[in-house]
């Protein structure tokens, strides 16, 4: 009896998805729970696993098509029924006599099939685009899992090999353009990029967005971090970054100015009595904003661990839809890319977003003397429909005061 492979139930806010690529061809054997196909939604890439072991009999929908929940993707023949028709690769292997081949000295051990099944969509796509065999790449992830950085390192070594121990073919280089020739190429937007564009334009057109600025002296935060970062990492297994300080300072300010943590729904203002803080994370697919739930109840270590986990998931393409939905306030850090100042765009229906920037030594007047201090510019973009300028400025001042005297974060004063 044939087994149908269908599009899983998509999240409530997602109406359809794009079929990115198949990982199996008709006639190939598949194992239960092995990923068959990747579906790209507006926010994440979903993997569709095989519901049972068998042979992929028929593919009903090709790559690039738009699909909806419950739509038939493919048909499998159960393992028992398909036993008489092994996959072509398996049949060829069965007829060949086994030959022992010694691995070259220094070569990485082939990846186990278990680890191969755990490749993220981002890694699979990079492997397929460069026609690479995962068995040739040593994984540095947990349990030997191949990460995107491992594939990139392998590609870099092919282009710039160290020594002459291996004759690795270099990637083809396009012919130089003729004098005066101008080239261009056109690629479709990914669903995520299109969705980001739509939301940014929508935010500009449907909110009364305004940005206010301030600066913060991070001398005390940096001194506290330098004093305890080694012990903190040893105790909690995660590095002490700046984001936990900014999140805790923001939450204290949000408590004092609840409109900054509110949202508009129709003609109503919803004041959220909880703090689900979105953290903007850059990935190869675009900007993602995973949400730290009940951030006010987390310790510094809990905040850092959550953010670190989200960063890994974003890079590996394994972040879930639930982790990207909701949020009452957002923090974005352009400083990691060198940004000195920016005006972040709101993430509707939220009413405010805090922008962090590069820490720079600047001259400051302290007690009548000019001294160099580590200064960061802060930017708060807010919806002027429900947040007055006074509240926005006071929110930034409260955040600044907490960061310049971080003991207040512990005492909550």
Distance CA 58, CA 278 (A): 42
Give me the catalytic one of 133, 156, 322, 388. 388
Question: Cβ atoms within 10 A of the Cβ of 372, count?
Answer: 11
If you count DSSP H runs as helices and E runs as strands, how many of each does the chain have, helices first? Answer: 11, 19
Is 296 among the residues known to form the active site? no
Nearest to 107 by CA among 81, 84, 133, 131: 133
Whether 383 is catalytic: no
CA distance 184 to 109: 41
Using DSSP's 3-state secondary structure scheme, residue 354 falls into strand
- Chain centre to alpha carbon of residue 381: 23
Q: Distance between CA atoms of 206 and 218, rounded to whole angstroms?
A: 35
233 to 140, 230, 258, 364: CA distances (angstroms): 21, 5, 33, 32
The one catalytic residue among 230, 322, 384, 405:
384
Chain center to CA of 369? 45
Indicate the helix (H) or strand (E) that contains 278: strand 277-279
Active site residues: 384, 388
């Amino acid at each position: 009896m044939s087994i149908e492979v269908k599009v899983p139930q998509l999240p409530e806010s997602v109406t359809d998805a794009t079929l990115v690529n198949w990982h199996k061809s008709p006639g190939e054997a598949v194992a239960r729970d092995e990923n068959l196909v990747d579906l790209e939604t507006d926010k994440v890439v979903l993997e569709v696993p095989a519901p049972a072991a068998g042979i992929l009999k028929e593919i009903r929908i090709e790559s690039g098509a738009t699909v909806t929940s419950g739509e038939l993707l493919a048909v499998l023949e159960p393992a028992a029924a398909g036993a008489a028709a092994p996959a072509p690769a398996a049949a060829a292997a069965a007829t060949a006599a086994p030959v022992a081949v010694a691995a070259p000295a220094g070569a990485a051990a082939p990846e186990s099939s278990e680890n191969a099944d755990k490749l993220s969509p981002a890694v699979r796509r990079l492997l397929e685009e460069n026609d690479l065999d995962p068995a040739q790449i040593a994984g540095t992830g947990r349990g030997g899992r191949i990460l995107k950085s491992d594939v990139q390192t392998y590609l870099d070594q092919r282009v710039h090999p160290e020594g002459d121990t291996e004759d690795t073919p270099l990637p083809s280089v396009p012919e130089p353009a003729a004098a005066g020739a101008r080239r261009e190429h056109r690629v479709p937007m990914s669903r995520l990029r299109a969705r980001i564009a739509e939301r940014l334009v929508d935010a500009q057109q449907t909110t009364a967005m305004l940005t206010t600025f301030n600066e913060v002296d991070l001398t005390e935060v940096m001194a506290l971090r330098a004093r305890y970062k080694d012990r903190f990492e040893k105790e909690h297994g995660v590095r002490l970054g700046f984001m936990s300080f900014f999140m805790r300072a923001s939450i204290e300010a949000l408590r004092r100015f609840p409109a900054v943590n509110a949202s508009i729904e129709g003609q109503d203002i919803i004041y959220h009595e909880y703090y689900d803080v979105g953290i903007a994370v850059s990935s190869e697919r675009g900007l993602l904003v995973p949400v730290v739930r009940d951030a006010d109840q987390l310790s510094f270590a809990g905040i850092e661990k959550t953010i670190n986990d989200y960063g890994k998931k974003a890079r590996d393409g394994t972040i879930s839809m639930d982790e990207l939905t909701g949020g009452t306030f957002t923090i974005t850090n352009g400083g990691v890319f060198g940004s000195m100042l920016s005006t972040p765009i709101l993430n509707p229906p939220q009413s405010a977003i805090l922008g962090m920037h590069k820490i720079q030594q600047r001259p400051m007047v302290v007690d009548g003397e000019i001294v160099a201090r580590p200064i960061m510019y802060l930017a708060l973009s807010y919806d002027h429909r429900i947040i007055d300028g006074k509240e926005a400025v006071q929110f930034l001042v409260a955040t600044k005061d907490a960061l310049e005297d971080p003991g207040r974060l512990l005492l909550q004063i």
